[in-house]
Structure 1
Amino acid sequence: MAPRVLISDKLSDAAVQIFRDRGVEVDFRPELGKDKDALLAVIGDYDGLAIRSATKVTEKVIAEATNLKVIGRAGIGVDNVDIPAASKKGIIVMNTPFGNSITTAEHAIAMMFAVARQIPEASTSTHAGKWEKSRFMGVELTHKTLGVIGAGNIGSIVIDRALGLRMKVIAYDPFLSEERATEIGVEKVELDDLLKRSDFITLHVPLTDQTRNILSAENIAKLKPGVRIVNCARGGLVDEAALADALKDGRVAGAAFDVFAEEPATASPLFNLPNVVVTPHLGAATTEAQENVALQVAEQMSDYLLTGAVQNALNMPSVTAEEAKVMGPWVKLAGHLGNFIGQMTDEPIKAINVLYDGEVATMNLGALNCAVIAGIMRRRNPDVNMVSAPVIARDQGIQISTTRQEQSGAFEAYIKVTVKTEKRERSIAGTVFSDGKPRFIQIKGINIDAEIGQHMLYTTNEDVPGIIGTLGVTMGENGINIANFTLGRNARNGEAIALLYIDDPVPAPVIDKLKATGMFGQVKTLSFDMV
């Protein structure tokens, strides 16, 4: 029996035809994307659901999707899909992470031109029958300094186009290596330096705890007078009210925004200000981009439904159905190991080595590597998945290597991840016990046996008395329950570590209190996706 796919958003006729040509039954009903009740009534009849952004795939929808095997999002953003709920039900969620990159980069360049030459205002004035030639004095882009915040996939395309316009390009990206910066022709700088030197600034980072309000009121005060700011990435990266004040007093000469803190944006401090260009989140809105992602998601979903091949999945690696049964626990472990390293590493990573020992060395190491790399990259890019992660890592100049070896220790199999940066080398190892649960077995060369939980606390210290008491008392005084407490040391009176599995995240004041004791070299909260 042929698999059935429902398309509940607007996809091109060519995408619909791909399903049919591949032998997949398809119902094209874009009206269902905005009718939750109607979607709930029919979703149980389908093996696949193809969507854009209008359809909200909630936990309630997933509960009714009794036959659903795959959700395909034509585009990169999947905030309209409850991925944890889908994962628990065994539903694969796919996206198309690279289909919009060029289009979004081009929109940023177009917005830069628009604000430099005041094109929207000049157009409105001329349409009104005015001829205010002297009013709209612009500036050239040539020889100006462009500051790029975020030099990833889209940012690197913007850099390439800006260099073609003969701009001087500098970039701030904590994860950009010097080798990659040289390769793409950009000068790597710190954020304060970028703020002080840039004539134009364009943002190309995801919205995370680290990037939220990266252009805060404090940072806006550091900007070079007369700068122009472009944001075609995510709302919330810029303090819109503070920027509006800077525009009004002339410290900032102009701004061009495609994204806003609240969307749909019916009001913003930036609206109706002179020399502020605004568009309604059009970064991906070109015929080519919409066609590319539609065709790509149709091909990916067809491949999975007909052959079991998985591409661009956000909640499982690219493995066959047979491999998945054996590799599932090891994939989770690989992701946890990478996630640990990613959360512990703030500087650019130069190289990643993954060592596979024992029986795990005979498995699909490509998929396991993807899980490790995705875990590492996810801290800096929440949109990364197991397919896009190696591509992004390679684009950043990160060297990835794999080592296989026969069983060499007390465990029948284990995985060890080592990353190298300019300053240090960091490693962690783990295994899967017979109950299928992953464990950390070594950190920084120190042997441990640590259960992995959603919320964890990691500390380093000298091997002296009082550490356990300090940690236990501090957690207890602040109502934080310890589920598991693991210690390790390299030698008596040497370096020691503690890893606590706790029921709830440790608040920042508690972290500060632990640091203030002077007993710890490092105190770090960690979180892991346990789905």
Structure 2
Amino acid sequence: MKVLITDEISQEGLQPLLDDPRITVDVQLGLPVAKLHEIIGGYDAIITRSGTRVDPPLIDHAERLKIIARAGVGIDNVDVEYASNKGIIVVNAPFGNTNSAAEHTLALLLTLCRNITLANPSLKSGEWKRAPFTGHELKGRTLGIIGLGKVGGRVALRAKAFEMEVLVHDPYIAEKRAEDFGVKLVPLEDIIRYADVISVHTPLNDETRGMIGTEHFAGMKNGVIVINCARGGIIDEAAMLAALDSGKVLGAGFDVFSEEPPASELVKQLIAHPRMVVTPHLGANTFEAQKNVAVDVSRELVNYLDGRPMENAVNIPRFDPDLMDHMRPFMGLVSQMGDFLSQLAPANPEKIIFTYNGKLARYDCAPLTVCGLAALLNRHTEVEVNMVNARLVARTMGMVVEEVRTTETESFSNLVTLAVHTPEGKRTIAGTLFEGKVKIVKMRDFHTDFTPEPHMLVISYEDRPGLIGKIGTILGEENVNIGNMNLGRRAKAGEAMVVFSIDSPASEDVVARLAEATQASFLKQVHMASVS
């Protein structure tokens, strides 16, 4: 295997490649794009950081390329979809910098509490002042961690070593994981209300963007400290600046920003605030972290040569062609079911059971299980979840995954059922293929018959005359067109579940109006990224 390295990579971390006689390593830094296009066709793998754009033109020139390895977490510089279409595996190193990021979180926190950034220049200027820099101890204070992933977990352990009380909010982990860390799993409202220090450790996506805003700052303790070493944009920066100006927040430590480097006046003002301690995205910038990510991607290349699973692949590797041809339609089914259920199920899943009924159960259904598991988890983790690493991610999150197969079936030749068990109860969804189309035929104990579409509403309420009309009126007044509707109920005037497909997303105000009009016991808007 010939490997091209185009960015600065820790030489020590490349040792697994250098020690393998099957691998030839060629380091060529700072190549012009034209030259890179000229030579890439002679390589089987490329290792980059953020300095090389692995885009379609480069991939088109890479006739032999089998692996793209990003020595770091982010893969913004890699066109993963295009690489996948070409059958090229993309791997990254999502865990190599976790310790570095956790330590940087504590570094910002301690710097704030002990006024180090203020005392240091004062003393260097020749002053000897102590009273203005009186600080705060961490012992006995309550730390609220949002996101108990790899970094959040390490921050929790270190905070406990400082004798802090630790509260954690993470709706996508099991309670057992929190117990393993000796911390208490609580709703976000409790973090906001009780924490003396709040630190975020979530991925940045549609769900987490701006998740800490003006209304959250209003509910925090006076003198709270806020830390963000995760991703810029998780904390609303305008609300953060206002909270600092008002004195609500004692101080904040940010390593990440919505703009890097900063361009807008808002971000520049936030960075310049006297009670902000800031660093230019240094969370992963330690020699140890750079070595670790290099080791991680090097080992993945060796795993590929040895035919072993690649745990950090961010796209789906190809299965046995004969099995794939048979399973592909059902992989689409279970993926849509997992994506749908992930948006409806209660927080903190403990167990996920995949049940296969009918002719399908005669085959090895493991590819279906990992595909559905990836769809269930992928919205809620800081790591890209795929068919290779889905079981590992679930185990890390404290979940038990079970698979049941039986050729017995009542109504359908093939039926797939997903059941998610949580402390609040169980959520179940069942689906099948009808003339090649995905059909959801059961939700909880309601019989249904609908095909997932990009925008949907799921509503449960006590059935009463006129409610369907009210729902239609409210949606119509907001120019939200109903495409299809499926109603399930147990008995007349009993609990009903209705699923609408709508042509465009409904606003939060519309959802609130629907909840009030129907007195809904459950109402969720579902956005199906896997459906076009």
User: Which TM-score band (shorter chain)?
Assistant: 0.7 to 0.9
CA offsets per residue over residues 443-482 of structure 1, 9 Å max, x none?
2244444434444444446778878887788878877677
The answer to whether residue 280 in structure 2 is matched with residue 276 in structure 1 is no
Structure 2 CA distance for aligned equivalents of residues 313 and 433 of structure 1: 32
Q: Structure 2 vs 1, CA of residues 57 and 452 (structure 1 numbering), >3 Å: closer, same or farther?
A: farther
The alpha-carbon deviation at position 103 of structure 1 amounts to 1.7
For residues 310-347 of structure 1, what are the alpha-carbon distances to aligned partners after superposition, in whole Å with 9 as ceiling and x for unaligned? 43222216855664444333333332222111111242
Note the alpha carbon deviations across 1:61-93, whole angstroms, 9 max, x for none. 445545433322222222332333333333332
Match of residue 215 from structure 1: 212
**More moved, 259-268 vs 306-315:** 306-315
Deviates more, 1:264-273 or 1:248-257: 264-273
Cα 1:403–1:23 shift into 2, 3 Å: same
Describe the shift of the 1:523–1:221 C-alpha distance in structure 2 as closer, same or farther (beyond 3 A): closer
What aligned pairs does 1:20-419 form with structure 2 within 5 A after superposition? 21=20, 23-32=22-31, 35-265=32-262, 268-304=268-304, 307=307, 309-316=309-316, 323-381=323-381, 383-386=383-386, 387-419=388-420
Q: CA deviation at 1:231?
A: 0.9
CA contact (8 A) 1:506 1:525 kept: no
CA distance in 2, matches of 1:67, 1:478: 53
In the TM superposition, residue 44 of structure 1 has moved relative to its aligned partner by 4.5
Q: Which residue number corresponds to residue 426 of structure 2? A: 425
User: For residues 503 and 438 of structure 1, what CA distance do their matches in structure 2 show?
Assistant: 19
| SS, match of residue 288 in structure 1 | helix
Query: Cα deviation per residue 1:88-132 (whole Å; 9 max; x = unaligned)?
Result: 333332222222222211111121111111223322333333333
Percent of paired sites with the same residue: 37
Contact 1:170 1:194 in 2 (8 A): yes
Q: Letter of the 1:334 partner, please give it.
A: V
SS in 1 for 2:327: helix
1:420-444 C-alpha deviation (Å, 9 max, x unpaired): 2233321112234674x54433322
Given that 1:350 and 1:399 are in contact with CA atoms closer than 8 Å, whether structure 2 keeps it comes out as: yes
Change (3 A) 1:379 1:274: same
* Secondary structure, aligned partner of 1:268: helix
1:3-18 to structure 2, matched below 5 A, reads 3-18=1-16
Higher deviation after alignment, 240-249 or 496-505: 496-505
Give the drift of 1:169.
Answer: 1.3
**Aligned with 2:72: secondary structure?**
coil
Sort the Cα spacing of 1:79 and 1:500 in 2 relative to 1 into closer, same or farther, 3 A: farther
1:382 to 1:15, Cα distance in 2 relative to 1, 3 A: closer
State the distance in 1 between where 2:65 and 2:455 align. Answer: 31
Give the Cα–Cα distance (whole angstroms) in 2 for the partners of residues 492 and 225 of structure 1.
52
Task: Please give the secondary structure, in 2, of the residue aligned with 1:349.
Answer: coil
Distance 1:45 1:146 in 2: 52
Name the SS of the counterpart of 2:167 in structure 1: strand
Asked if the contact 1:22–1:302 (Cα under 8 Å) also holds between the matched residues in 2, the reply is: no
Aligned 8 A contact 1:309 1:318 in 2: no
Count of aligned residue pairs for this structure pair? 526
**1:217 positional shift:** 2.3
Give the aligned residue type for 2:86: K
Per the alignment, in what secondary structure is the counterpart of residue 205 of structure 1?
coil
User: Which residue is 1:444 aligned to?
Assistant: 444
Query: Conserved in 1, the CA contact under 8 Å of 2:482 and 2:503?
Result: yes
Query: In 1, are the aligned partners of 2:385 and 2:393 still within 8 Å (CA)?
Result: no
Are the aligned partners of 2:348 and 2:422 in contact in 1 as well (CA < 8 Å)? yes
Please tell me the residue identity of whatever aligns with 2:416: I
Instruction: Please state whether the residue corresponding to 2:168 is helix, strand or coil.
Output: strand
CA deviation profile, 1:122-177 (whole Å, cap 9, x unmatched): 22333333333333222211222212122222211111111111111122223354
Three-state SS of the structure 1 residue aligned to 2:272 is: coil
User: Given the superposition, is the C-alpha separation of residues 523 and 220 from structure 1 closer, same or farther in structure 2, using an over 3 Å criterion?
Assistant: closer
CA contact (8 A) 1:6 1:48 kept: yes
SS at match of 1:270: helix
Question: Contact (CA 8 Å) 1:97, 1:388: kept in 2 or not?
Answer: no
User: Aligned AA for 1:279?
Assistant: T
> How far, CA to CA, are the matches of 2:124 and 2:325 in structure 1?
65
Matches of 1:511 and 1:193, distance apart in 2:
25
Residues in 2 aligned to 1:304 and 1:321: alpha-carbon distance in whole angstroms: 18
* Residues 491-510 of structure 1: pairs in structure 2 closer than 5 A: 497-499=497-499, 504-508=504-508
Label 1:429 to 1:172 Cα distance change in 2 as closer, same or farther (>3 A): same
Equivalent-residue separation in structure 2 for 1:16 and 1:38 (angstroms): 24
| Amino acid corresponding to residue 27 of structure 2 in structure 1 | F
Contact 1:147 1:170 in 2 (8 A): yes
CA 1:91–1:443 in 2, change beyond 3 Å: closer, same or farther? farther
Q: Is the 8 A contact 2:232 2:257 kept in 1?
A: yes
- Asked if the contact 2:455–2:525 (Cα under 8 Å) also holds between the matched residues in 1, the reply is no
**Contact in 1 for aligned 2:15/2:295 (Cα 8 Å):** no
Inter-partner Cα distance in structure 2 for 1:317 and 1:448: 34
- 1:50 counterpart SS class: strand
Q: Is the 8 A contact 1:474 1:514 kept in 2?
A: yes
- Indicate how the Cα distance of structure 1 residues 194 and 472 shifts in structure 2: closer, same or farther if over 3 A, else same: closer
Distance 2:363 2:111 in 1: 53
How far, CA to CA, are the matches of 1:85 and 1:501 in structure 2? 30
How far the C-alpha of 1:292 sits from its partner, in A, is 1.6
The CA deviation at 1:417 is 0.5
Deviation at 1:233, TM superposition (A): 0.8
| Cα pair distance change 1:90/1:451, threshold 3 Å | farther
Is the CA contact 1:208–1:382 (under 8 Å) kept in the aligned structure 2? Answer: no
Instruction: Give CA-to-partner distance per residue, 1:470-525, whole Å, 9 cap, x none.
Output: 77888788776777665555566665555455665455565456556539763523
Provide the C-alpha distance between the structure 2 equivalents of 1:407 and 1:461, rounded to a whole number of angstroms. Answer: 33
Q: Which letter maps to 1:329?
A: P
RMSD: 3.4
Unaligned runs of 5+ in 1: none
1:30 aligned counterpart, secondary structure: coil
Does the CA-based 8 Å contact 1:214-1:238 persist in structure 2? yes
Give, in whole Å, the separation in 1 of the partners of 2:345 and 2:177: 18
Structure 1 residues 365 and 109: CA distance shift in structure 2, 3 A: farther
Question: In the aligned structure 1, how far is the partner of 2:357 from the partner of 2:108?
Answer: 52
